[in-house]
Amino acid sequence: MSNDLVRFSVAMPEALLIEFDQLVARRGLAKNRSEVVRDLVRDALVEEECSTPGTVVMGTLTIVYDHHSNDLQEKLHTIQHDYFDNIISTMHVHVDQHMCLEVIVMRGETGLVQTVANLILGTKGVKNGKLVLTTTGRHL
């Protein structure tokens, strides 16, 4: 596939265009309508790729938990060691005297990454968390 730019036109209601132009302005000086459209198309393609069963994805799972919860850290470590082929890295941050934030970077088939995230999110003592999936970049 060529990286040559191809022009095409888009018709939309004026009110939607005004909102779109406000989005373009918020994205910064280096962005214009074309750049923002390309960003939005890439985002949609990545989201579609990540929802396709069997696709290898990258994911970041961010969790917040009270490190004083009974055996929580041991349970989290056990899950992470059970899936050591899929857990690439972790970063642990002390939010305050009780709460910790952990970012877990994962790689694997989309269903497996979601399963590991659900195991961690479902562990008693995890207060909040969110999984964000993205592409490995091979097809962009």
d(CA 134, CA 140): 11
Does the annotation list 67 as a binding residue?
A: no
Cα distances from 76 to residues 19, 92, 96, 101, in angstroms, run 43, 12, 19, 13
Q: What are phi and psi of 48, to 5 degrees?
A: -65, -45
Q: What are phi and psi of 58, to 5 degrees?
A: -110, 150
d(CA 60, CA 87): 10
Cβ distance 63 to 129 under 8 Å?
yes
Does the annotation list 81 as a binding residue?
A: yes
Query: For residue 57, which of 113, 103, 102 has the smallest C-alpha distance?
Result: 113
Binding residues: 81, 92, 94, 100
Binding residues for Ni(2+): 81, 92, 94, 100
